[in-house]
Amino acid sequence: MKCTYRLAVGLSASLLMIPSALSQVADKRFVTIEEVIVTARKVEESLQDTPVSVAAFSTSDLEQMGASEAKDVANFTPNLRMQKQSGSQDNYAMAIRGVSSGETALTIDPTVGVYMDGVYLARTTGLAFDIVDLKRIEVLRGPQGTLFGRNTIGGALNIITEKPTGEPAFKLALGGGDHGYSRVMTSVDSPDLGPVALKFSYLRNTSERELESLYNGESLGDSKGEYFRLAARWKASDNIALDYIYDKSDRESNANTQQLSHVRAVYADPSSAFYGGPYYEQAEAAASEDRLSVLPFINTDPGESNSDIDSHSITLEWDAMDSLLVKSISNVREWDSSARGTEFGAFPVQNNGDVVDLRDRSSPSNVPVGTLVPLFSATRDNFHRQITQEFQLTGKALDERLSYTAGIYLFHEEATEDNPQQFVLPTRFIAAAAGGVTLPPIGVASNATWLSAPFAYELENESRAIYGQFTYNLFTDFDVTLGLRYTEDEKESTLQNNLDGASGAVRVTSSDSWNNFSPSFSLDYRWSDQVSSYLRVANGYRSGGYNVRAQTSSSFSTPFDPEEITSYEIGIKSDLLDRRLRLNLSVFQMDYTDRQIAQFEAGSGGASSVIVNAGESVTRGLEIESVFIPTPGLRLIANYGFLDVEYKEFISGPVDPVTGFSSGSNRDISDEVTENLYAPEHSGAVAIEFQSAPWSFGQLTLRLDATYVDSISFHPQLFLYDQTEAYTLVNARATLADIPLADGRLRVALWGKNLTDKEYREFGIDFGLLGFAVNNYGVLARVGIDLVYEFGD
């Protein structure tokens, strides 16, 4: 840790020297605020001219943040959360303005639409992959359905990568740091090949966590990945261009980074005698509310989990005339993933009869003394394939007073998941659900039962939509925008599990369809060249679906309904003081109806829950984003987000967060649930950047930033043991760029992340009646160095 604090002290000292160096500064970038071009409305326009709450990060912004994947921008974007989930290093839980989804089942649609080069990525599972050739990331807050693919009820994340230039160029980036971190990236732009331009990119990275196994001392949480990208651009004529992109991602990791935070040794009132016996006593002793570095895991295989992605995209653009652009976006994407040993802790059997093996329910037996039995473990095989086709028309009419974008969106997906699970429950609790099996003659009130469930499902979904957004310049500096979208969804799902308490697997298939009309309306007025404001009302929609974690046939066969949001927003955008101060503000309210909420179910089917339409909520909040250049060479950045979520109705059976038991019939319990579901009340970030005058040997940039996130809950009822407390992270970076070297330029950066070595929870799950809660923690302090050499454009 000494190197961490040395870096912190060194960078802080460098920042304190800023005043004495200001007289040397002459760099234009930090004289006025740079203009950022975004495509939030499907056309290129200035960020400040876009009447939508959007945060944008340019190539230089991403470099200074040390961003390599989409998640890295979350802490710098007000009211955006992106967190790695427990049990995987490949899956995101995402929320914009508290509109969230953390469910990994492939039948549950996300609330935030993620787009990469115009292609909708249908599932947040498998989305945690590194991205090379990042050009820009845009975060659009609030419903965006009138312009983007589907399921953008909370907002959209728009990722744009670099295209081939047609000019020869080369880039090699090397990175290394403590905890086994390494990163190698290279990209090559081909020289002019007539009408064709090519770009090849390759990335390889590795990392380790600060965790080890209690049983063999080997490390946990290691990961390595490779990423390959081929981009080709064919300029068929002056007005026709075709882009082809092939993306290949391959990641291996050990996903066992979560720790037991709480174990319910007593499942109900002590008089009920739902005890787990000596086995659960060990688990309870191993649990801790504080971060641990040694965990009781058996599987330390660094290749325990893998995630493979293959994606082919073709975008055809035809500039049909000066005022009309026709575009076709086609994509086929496949995701294969597997895991062989996901655990939440394993403990030895101490006495004969402590644990009953009921995995073969027809032949129960006592587990031999000394056997390590996992509290919960699972293997998993996933396959997902999506085919998307989108046609767009973008143009102007009526003497260019009318601007429009219209399109047709077609989506097809098919997926399977085979996720057999093994888990332990108190024998007394499960005896009644074991199908009348005769248990060994042991004291059932003080023992645990080792069970298994097949848990497999498949799906096939279709979605079609037609949309349009039309902006009319009513009079000078005043625009009116109307957006329209009609969507049809069809879904069929099949579940195979121990449904209805059956001792064997039961297979059930069900299908349904939904449709929705989602309009939007906005007014945009430019008060001057420096200040504009907008008012926006928009509807958002997320389709219904099926409860593949259900315990009964009826719970699965009865789909949950779509949810809808009506969003009201007022925003102001301004560039002041001769473009040295940028201040953007948005205030909003979102009325949520038929909100989809996960609720745990009792039974012997594993990690079981159902999605229900629990009721209504209202979210109010604001976002402030500012950039200030008080003097040439010095840039100050400050962002802030506020959320206030209030449940108006929450129809559910009450769940005791202490015992995990539900009690009573369904009723409105809105006054008994947490209001903080993926929605920290306060979040924000500050950064200070200093850029020196160019020297003959390069140019120095120093950055120090801090990000703050308020407490976060991941379940509206089971929130006692998996909640993330408020935390602040401090990062720093020192970059010497534009160093002349061999007809090119070299960039050297020394960086540190989480410099105060903050121990913070990144994600948590309370498994309710399974008897325990787990949390995974963010990476501790890490320092490293990046070397980047490039020549050409």
- Would you tell me how many other CB atoms lie within 10 Å of the CB of residue 432? 10
How far apart CA 93 and CA 67 sit, in angstroms, is: 18
Which residues face 463 on adjacent strands?
A: 411, 489
CA gyration radius, the chain: 27
Q: For strand 531-542 and strand 563-576, is the pairing parallel, antiparallel, or unpaired?
A: antiparallel
Q: Which pLDDT belongs to residue 71?
A: 83
CA-nearest of 317, 325, 329, 327 to 120 is: 329
Q: Which pLDDT belongs to residue 533?
A: 97
DSSP notation for 172-194: EEEEEETTTEEEEEEEEE---BT
Instruction: Name the token pair of 622.
Output: 């604001």
Provide the strand spans (E) within 68-118.
80-84, 92-96, 99-101, 112-116
Residue-range domains of the chain with CATH: 2-256+297-343+375-420+455-791 (2.40.170.20)
Cα 679 vs. chain centroid, distance in angstroms? 14
Q: For strand 448-453 and strand 355-357, is the pairing parallel, antiparallel, or unpaired?
A: parallel
* DSSP code for 217: -
What is the number of residues in the chain? 793
Q: Which pLDDT belongs to residue 608?
A: 65
Give 10-residue mean pLDDT values along the chain (793 residues): 46 44 45 85 86 91 86 92 83 90 85 92 82 89 88 90 92 92 94 91 92 92 92 93 95 90 66 65 91 92 90 95 91 93 89 86 87 91 96 93 95 94 76 44 59 89 96 95 96 88 82 95 95 96 90 87 96 95 97 85 60 89 96 95 92 80 78 83 96 91 97 88 93 95 94 95 86 90 96 80
Instruction: Name the token pair of 192.
Output: 């002019």
SS3 content of the chain, % helix, strand, coil (to 5): 10, 55, 35
Q: For strand 211-213 and strand 219-220, is the pairing parallel, antiparallel, or unpaired?
A: antiparallel
CB 738 within 8 Å of CB 744: no
* DSSP code for 54: E
DSSP notation for 597-649: EEEE--SSSSS-EEEEEEEEEEEEEEEEEEEEEEETTEEEEEEEEEEEEEEEE
How far apart CA 179 and CA 351 sit, in angstroms, is: 39
Which residues face 682 on adjacent strands?
A: 642
What does pTM read for this prediction?
Answer: 0.90
Q: Which residue has the tokens 């020549």?
A: 791
Q: Which pLDDT belongs to residue 653?
A: 78
Sequence-ordered list of residues with C-beta below 8 angstroms from that of 637, at least 6 positions apart, any chain: 626, 627, 628, 685, 686, 687, 688, 689, 705
Sequence-ordered list of residues with C-beta below 8 angstroms from that of 618, at least 6 positions apart, any chain: 589, 590, 591, 592, 645, 646, 648
How far apart CA 28 and CA 279 sit, in angstroms, is: 66
How far apart CA 372 and CA 348 sit, in angstroms, is: 4
Q: Which pLDDT belongs to residue 605?
A: 54
